[in-house]
Structure 1
Amino acid sequence: MTQIKRYVKNAYLIVFSIVFFCGVVTSLALYHEEKQHLMLDENIATEQFITRLKDALAQYGREVAGVAIMIQSMDEPLTNPIFQRASRQLEATEKNNTLRVYFAKYVPHSQRDTYVTQQQGLAGLSAFQITPSEIRKEYLPLTYGYPFFTNPGFDLLSDTYSNRDVIQQIRSYQGFEMSELPTFSSEGVKQKTRSFALRRSIYIPLDNIKNRVTDEFGFYGIVGIIFEVNGLVRQLNVPGIRGVAYRIADITEGSQPPVWFADSRTDININAEHISHWEKGHFNTTDIYYGGRNWRVDTRNSSDLLGLIDWTLILGALILFTLLALLLSWYVRLLSNAYNQTLLLANEKIEIDGLTGLYSRYKIQKELDELIKTCELNANKLVVFFLDLDHFKAINDAFGHETGDKLLVKVAQRLKSVLPDKAIIGRLGGDEFLVLMVLDDKKACVFLERLCREVILQISQSYFVEGGTLNIGCSIGAALYPDYGQDAETLIKNADMAMYEAKSAGRATYYFYDGAMGARISRNMRIETRLRYALQNSLLELHFQPKVDLNTKECVGMEALLRWEDSELGTVSPMEFIPIAEQSGIILMLGEWVFEQTFKHLVIWKEQGVQVPPIAINCSAAQLKRPNFLSHLLSLLDKYQIDPSLLEIEVTESILIEDAKGCAELLRQVSKLGIKLAIDDFGTGYSSLSYLKDLPFHYVKIDQVFIRDFMEDSDHDALTRAIINLSHELNLKVIAEGITRVDQMERLREYGCDIGQGYLFSKALGANSMASDPMIVALNEKQGDSDSFGG
């Protein structure tokens, strides 16, 4: 009732928070939609830009090809007037007035003088010469140009030409080659420009050479187009809803960082000043390959995203919801004030539980508040008992709620009879009861423990209900004031936690809350939270501990072991987090993660050429009970193409006792796949080998609790020897884990134990260190020798 009153009192805050939260969610949704719309616009503009850029380059290629085919198809030598007419018809010259077309003619040394004389006469260039002037076997001088001619006679095959390798390359085939274009000063020094040359070689069929000069394969020359980057991008005329910014770099040579030769954000030479715009926010990157060059093109919105968003609608929605929240919360507060007045009057009449006649939840909590004040004044101690019936739900389910209610009435009567007169008893609801007692005896602790045992004993006696006999038990949690709580809420909460601790201990018992339990519960909750986070963010690791043949000392297997290093909790032992994972249900996700990671490591090791022995994976009872366990295992084997003989599955013996028939059939199917099976931690549970005779197990693992002190403990020594002998009688191999000393190994070998595992041989190895571990290296070398011998 107090909780309800608190909710009603704060209802207006709850309403305001909910409505305001809806406003925030709506605004965020509108923001997300606007952002997605802008990104879609950006992608459309990017596609348009890239398409137009590719089309422009392809158009240059078509024009180069057109001139080359025209020259190739002529029946007479190419003259300057013919070249001028052909070049004048190029489409792109109308779009890009920086475009230039040139023709470089092949000239063997024997024809050099004749060629120079012809050019001096035909072209009207009396000073025409092939430059540089050194004598070479063959030449490729610039012969004609349109619309103007720069550096006539320069030999593209000369050593001084920076793109000589490109020329030699394109000479060997009739494709396109594009390169950055250097210019030449009067002294022949190369100067970088933001220009490119697109070239194609011309070959004359050998049967149609006539009086044209070619090399022995019909190479006649090269035709090319020179274009400036500024002229190229002016052709693109990129449309965009809100505009698009771009930059282009040639990354053919793999320069890092890229050297940008075009940027829509600046008209000056590209340098570090323009980088800041591109370092902020998202941009798209596309690679364009054309003419042997690889260009990187970055595009993005021309303005920052926040500046493009229409904030009017987004902020308007938030303001509207805020006003609505204020109005509704004001109205709800008026209603809650009226309700509280009504509730105060009603509470005076609802002090007795209608079913049991005990104090109601409201009344017992009110009594606790009053007792705390009294104890504080008198320096007395107060105990709060939280009592919960064991398996009460089963009675309700089996006999019905009416029978359950009658049983609760009889339990309440027994509580009144067994508890002291000074005890205040209340029913919180369901099968939960609260008992309050003020303590004034120095021997209170002894008295309280005796009282708890007596209450459990009396409550556990049989009940005669509706002609039948019912049996019920109870678990009790206790918290003391002021030691472990100084207000009602804290005391009830701590007593409740102590009661759950009693149930975890096996029910029908009691537990007193203490500081250590609170710290433990708090740490367990933190471990559960961080473990879920670690699974979601792949913060767990698998390590692999070798298993060694005790006779040959060779590595014959490995066990996958979980390791967890948390940024907040530090190193957390599997002994601590595995039980918490089992209680919380995380063990199912954890088990699937271990299986998948093991398969991935096997694939990686195979790709690295590292041969490993079979890997053993621990399988929890909850995981083995899942209906899809086998189908999931089969899907992993198929997905990663893993040989089943490289796997072993270890299960605890308790699962076989819980569901021996169902597990037997499942394990047989797993064994038929070629996967070996082992019983893990043998000896710590039921310690019976009788159920193994019909099951397809290959190994029995003796738990390290026996191995740790069996050299000194005669009972453990006898049990260890018996397990080994009985296992061998059933044709099972025995694995002893936790071996740390040589004398342990020697005695186990004397008893006939087959395989050992522990720090004596090796700690668990990280996946990355597998290839360098001496045991694995020795295994690979032996396997290599065996393969070589067999070959």
Structure 2
Amino acid sequence: MNEPVNHRDSWLVASTRRHVKHAYLIVFSIVFFCGITTCLALYHEEKQHILSDEQIAGDEFVALLKDALENYGKEVTSFSVMMQSTNEALTYDIFQRASKQYESTEKNQSLRVYFAKYVPHDHLNAYLKQQRRLMGQMDFNITPRGERKGYLPLTYGYPFSSNSGFDLLAPSYVNHQVIQRIRSTKSLIMSQIMLIASDSESAKQDKFVLRRSIYLPLDNLKGRVTDELGFYGVIGVIFDVKGLKQQLESHNERGFSYRISDVSDDPEHPVWFADSSKGRDFDPNHEIYWSKGVYNTHVIDFAGRSWRVDTRYSSSFPNLVNWGLIIVAFVIFSLLAVLLSWYVKLLANAYNQALRLASDQIEIDELTGLFSRYKIQTELNTLIRRCRLKDQKLASFFMDLDYFKTINDAFGHETGDKLLIKVAQRLRSVLPDEAVIGRLGGDEFLVLLVLREHEKNTYLEGLCREVILQVSQSYFIDGRTLNIGCSIGVALYPDYGLDAETLVKNADMAMYEAKTAGRATYYFYDAQMGARLSRNVRIETRLRQALQDDVLELQFQPKVDLNTQKCVGLEALLRWEDSELGWVSPAEFVPVAEQTGIILLLGEWVFEQACKHIVVWREEGIQVPPIAVNCSAAQLKRPNFLAHLLGLLDKYKIDPSLLELEVTESILIEDAESCAELLRQVSQLGMKLAIDDFGTGYSSLSYLKDLPFHYVKIDQVFIRDIMEDPDHDALTRAIINLSHDLNLKVIAEGITRTDQLERLKSYGCDIGQGYLFSAALGASSMVNDPMIVALREQQEDDGTLEN
């Protein structure tokens, strides 16, 4: 066999060596890059951690500020509640004693409290007399003067009273609307921050006022004057921002800055009144220090005002980062990059030496000496390019050994390997010298052959037949004579594949068709195969839908005793008519179900439907004979097959003798040992077993001798030609005689003519099945079927059921 030289492979090997030679640089770059990435990740993590801590610290600071303001509000509220609860007219002594209770705390060191009493117009003179007497000022009056419905003059103040007698309800008062809101809402109201002047500029202090209205119960005034709703006056408490800041500073962590502004009136132009960063050493430029993006902003709503609070760490971000951790990581990765690159360089040298030794071996399959999977694929690409240039055809043979797995499992992998070696030798001997042969793996081979102009499909067919003939000859290995077969799929370039992947895939599908057709044969990929595959996909989809919609039907065909002509059993047959595909033959959809795994669901459905029908017929008074159900290989291989079967029998309360199982020889070939044990357990339950399609597969008399079968079912292919084909006639007679010698009954299926029936009766066949007796019946048709009617009449006569 001539082996084409592939220059592309040599180039790939040389390219690989160059890359390996410089692998240490690649490793150094990768590890160093990982180090940089890790350092950046650590930096990012540090940044997120610092930002998170800064946010948390800001949230805690804002919560502290909220608590301080809430405490202010509680004090004002308690002040007003105390004044409301006084059962006598408010005098200056009472007011003074109440005010002194709040000046002892740190935040109230410069406390100012005032009370503005509501004076209706008709009580104005009485109020003026009272105040003039109290203050000793005979010229005391309410200002600004004027006739009004009611007045709210500053009446008492502590520690001293300023602007005594000033009417807060006067329209000219700047906070007139605020006072009206306090009076109407009965809630706590805060003023905007105000600057109270003193003798020195440095003594100016920011203040804020908390006001609250006082209402008295109308049924308990006790001489006190209110308006028609009980409004008695307004209590106001003036607090220093300095005292508020002292509370915040005492709880604030070192290295944390804040600033506070009032944004109630104009959020775009805040009024700043507290800034912890001013005057500190780390504040060279206040505007830059509070530049946008370096701080967190919070808004507090309290007593009708909105305060904006900006918070940040005092130090800049780079000063807060733990650079030691990042530098250590960078140093570690740098050292690791150097060490690994040095080690990889040593490995690369060793690899190049090994590569030179293995380069000649990688293209050859170590076991068979054929081209390896890699080499055969590169050869296929090369041949496709050559055929494209020279306008030639290329045949791709996909070969798979039949029953190799059985031999491999039975005698071990060592025997299997020796068998593969001998198969490879036979392929070399039978294929032409110009053929390229490769092993894809397992028991799969790929053969490539460029066709000459005069070589047509007939030449390829003859070559396939010769290969199958030679491969199928017996092999003598380790004192054993082994027999296998060979299935071949062929795809031609450029007719059914323009690239390597498509060509091999189509050849593989053609090989599978050969397997399906009975093995030990060949199949050429054609356009119709694609259509069949498309239909199979459609069948799979519709079959799954049919299971969901429960549109499948189970029919029953009688089995007849050939001597008495009486029904002795039924075979459950699955039928399917689809709304889109029409009537689909079991011969078409069952193989698709087996390939896709749907057969498991179908098998469970058939078993359960058979049990349901037995129950329904029993309730209708119809005692049917045993029903035979076909079992697929996939069903028997399931570990829970027997448990599921027992569950159905228990669920529907069915005697096991009313069910029979039919299994094919192929099941026993694939997994004889485990299937044999399962069949023995099923037989012990009382179910009868039949071996189906006997004589069409890899028949073995040991199945009949060693396994608990009750029936042998002759495939209809023999019965169909029993009168015309002497070989089929002889085989049928031999199967019947052999089965009787082993005390097994024989069932012949597919009987359609009377002469077939007579021939089978002459051979002693026990049971028959086919259109000559009855077609498959729907469940509802069983009542009127003559055989079932006759069977029921017999049961009524003697109460027995002939088996």
TM-score (norm 2): 0.48
